Amino acid sequence: MTRTRVLLLATLPLLVACGAENDPPPHAGAMADASASAGGAEREATLGPFLAAHWTLPIAPQGDAPADWSPLEADLDPAACGTCHPKQFAEWQGSLHAGAFSPGFAGQLIEGGLSRPRALRDCQRCHAPLAEQLPVTAQGKPSPHYDAALRSQGLACAVCHVREQRRFGPPRRADAAPLPATLPHGGFEVRDEYQQSRFCAPCHQFFDTAGVNGKPIENTFFEWQQSPQAAEGQSCQSCHMPGRAHLWRGIHDPEMVRGAVQVHFESEGEGDEVRATLRLTSHGVGHRLPTYVTPRIYLEVWQEDGAGRELTDTQRRFTIGRKVDFRQRREIFDTRIAPGESAELVYRAPRAATAQSVVGRVTVAPDFHYRGVFENYLPTLTDPEARRLIETALHRSERSRYVLQQERHPL
């Protein structure tokens, strides 16, 4: 039976913001410090021998290519891969994987806590993990393998598909055209792991840490393991790489979210009271919604006058998400929705004198946490390039917010 969280706003008016939601969040480095180490028994058992070795992070230098390879065959730049894989390259270019070395991330690596060599390597372990993308060695010295242009490519093709100049990929589809007799870079080695959810776990599951309140800061893989989707044989790739598309769409994509949830809004105006219920049900998400601490989803109901203006003091809000105080390592709230569950805002309020309608709205803020980080971080910066990058990141985080659904009912 579906479990529903209900907020009775008439009796709990002080909970509408779900805690001190506007408190300045910590520097993003606090999130990095809370992440798991790259190793551990739990990680090894989950990934298996091939993936545990494949995802040793940071990824070791690729080394010299065979002498008979052309420069194009040996090139790790995604554009080089796009010469033979134009569809995958075009899809990747618009993905968050391609943007993993984002302005917000890059700016923090220039000035502040993340600019220290160890922190820089730890954070790039998931954002730009190739040895060729790392400017410093484990000893903090300049790296002889570093390629500044490749670093800005984020999760480049080679991050998933290249190790020691060997190329790897999933089994070919049954309907794929026959391969030519001679292939660039000696072809590729087939691994079924590319079709399995555990392939994604090294960056989307924090292993071997207690986390906060007994939950890892990122727990997506284990959430999926407990989901109906996993029981039905759906993998991470089923939703985030449909038809093997290199898109990795998620909470930033309104259409994908609309296809994975149901919104129900009902209302009535009776006498001097307005009653409404706004419910969000997660039916197609194979993990908690949202799975990470960064996004927020808001359920909001308010009254409007005949001109469509919101009436003062009539709005009520319920926040869906997880808020963690990283300084004190404590969980402030966790109202995320498990697969198949719902969050519900029950609205009971006096009818305003000029109220003509009641409105229900679901809003998604994919970058809520980072927006707060950038706002807090910006006044402390002295480096001009770091400031430019963080300002860009702040604008991006503000623009990523969108209305998932809104309905207006006459009273």
Q: For residue 360, what are the contacts with CB-CB under 8 A and spacing of at least 6?
A: 265, 267, 276, 278, 299, 300, 301, 406, 407, 409
Question: Alpha-carbon distance 349 to 272, whole Å?
Answer: 9
pTM: 0.90
Instruction: Give 162-167's long-range contacts (Cβ < 8 A, gap of 24+).
Output: 162/62, 162/76, 163/54, 163/59, 163/60, 163/62, 164/60, 164/62, 164/63, 165/62, 165/63, 165/64, 165/65, 165/66, 165/74
Q: Which domain holds residue 337?
A: 4-27+251-410
Q: Is position 375 within any domain?
A: yes
Query: Which amino acid, 169?
Result: G
Q: Is position 240 within any domain?
A: no
pLDDT tens digit sequence for 202-256: 999 999 777 899 999 999 999 999 999 999 999 999 999 999 999 999 999 999 9
Instruction: For residues 22 and 110, state if they share a domain.
Output: no
Where among 201, 223, 242 does a domain terminate?
A: 201
Q: Give the chain's mean pLDDT.
A: 90
Q: Is position 101 within any domain?
A: yes
Residue 113 pLDDT level (bands cut at 50, 70, 90)? confident
82-90: average pLDDT:
97
Q: How many domains does the chain have?
A: 2
**Is 381 in contact with 329 (CB distance < 8 Å)?**
no
Instruction: For residues 192 and 105, state if they share a domain.
Output: yes
Instruction: For residues 11 and 92, state if they share a domain.
Output: no
